[in-house]
A and B are shown apart, each in its own frame.
Chain A
Amino acid sequence: DTGVSQDPRHKITKRGQNVTFRCDPISEHNRLYWYRQTLGQGPEFLTYFQNEAQLEKSRLLSDRFSAERPKGSFSTLEIQRTEQGDSAMYLCASSPDIGYTFGSGTRLTVV
């Protein structure tokens, strides 16, 4: 078990392009979370999966954002038509119940 893995670590994209991030949780964890962290702030909740079911989405997750966890294992977060305001660190976490293990994050820069 190597913990929670996120790929890529860094992504630079031009405004208007689509990007997709991947998260591989700890294998026995059935809960998976996505958070967004902007500079100087704490992480903010985006969405949550229990197995393959997406149980909650934040209002921060506009219609340009979509997340999937097709087989209850890895998850993807896609941002369509990126905007400069999407620049942030996107963190994935997993847990068996209370308390998370975070991945190292994907830093997105939209230019």
Chain B
Amino acid sequence: AQSVTQLDSQVPVFEEAPVELRCNYSSSVSVYLFWYVQYPNQGLQLLLKYLSGSTLVKGINGFEAEFNKSQTSFHLRKPSVHISDTAEYFCAGGDYKLSFGAGTTVTVRA
């Protein structure tokens, strides 16, 4: 079974600064990886997904992630954050059934 680990529980960042959220995965089979964002009292919204092909995946809202097989990582990045990016971010892996990390709380400060 695939599992994912999010290495940072909280990431404070200033507005317009870059941010990186770290995710490591473990799997012995096919690798499908996802990043979701969750705003308070909302469901999860898909930011981006890696199924195959190019290791650099671009998503919505200016986010991107890089699949690194040798380091078993799928880190999420954004070059310049906005106040509206304040949310909980979840890394997930799997095929029909997803395993989620514990989440990273991103707080963007002015």
Residues of A within 8 A of B (CB): 4, 6, 31, 33, 40-45, 48, 56, 91, 93, 95, 98-105, 107
Instruction: Name the one of A31, A98, A99, A104 contacting B43, with C-beta atoms under 8 angstroms.
Output: A104
* Contact B43–A103 (Cβ < 8 Å): yes
Decide: A91 near B44, CB < 8 A? Known: A48-B96, A99-B34, A100-B98. yes
Task: Select one of B32, B98, B101 contacting A45, CB under 8 A.
Answer: B98
Count, chain B residues at interface, CB 8 A: 22
* B103: contacting residue among A33, A42, A44, A102, CB under 8 A: A42
B44: chain A residues within 8 A (beta carbon): 43, 91, 93, 102
Task: Judge if B102 is at the interface, Cβ distance under 8 Å.
Answer: yes
Which residues of the other chain, B, contact A103 by a CB distance below 8 angstroms? 43
Partner-A contacts on B (CB < 8 A): 32, 34, 36, 41-46, 49, 51, 90, 92, 95-103
Inter-subunit contact A98/B51 (CB<8 Å): yes
Establish whether residues A99 and B90, one from each chain, have CB atoms under 8 Å apart when the complex forms.
no
Q: Which 7 pairs from chain A and chain B are nearest by CB?
A: A42-B100, A102-B43, A104-B43, A102-B44, A105-B43, A43-B100, A42-B90
Contact A45 B97 (CB under 8 A): yes
The minimal Cβ–Cβ distance linking B24 to chain A, given in whole angstroms, is: 14
B103 — which chain A residues lie within 8 A by C-beta?
40-42
Q: How far is the CA of A43 from the CA of B98 in the complex (A)?
A: 9
* Complex CA distance for A45 and B1, rounded to whole angstroms: 13
Contact partners of A100 in chain B: CB under 8 A: 46, 98
Known: A42-B90, A43-B44, A105-B43. A98 touches B101 (CB 8 A): no
Q: Can you sample 27 A-B contacts with CB below 8 Å?
A: A4-B43, A6-B43, A31-B96, A33-B97, A42-B90, A42-B92, A42-B102, A42-B103, A43-B90, A43-B98, A45-B97, A45-B99, A48-B97, A56-B97, A91-B43, A91-B44, A98-B32, A98-B51, A98-B96, A99-B34, A99-B51, A100-B46, A100-B98, A102-B36, A102-B44, A104-B42, A105-B42
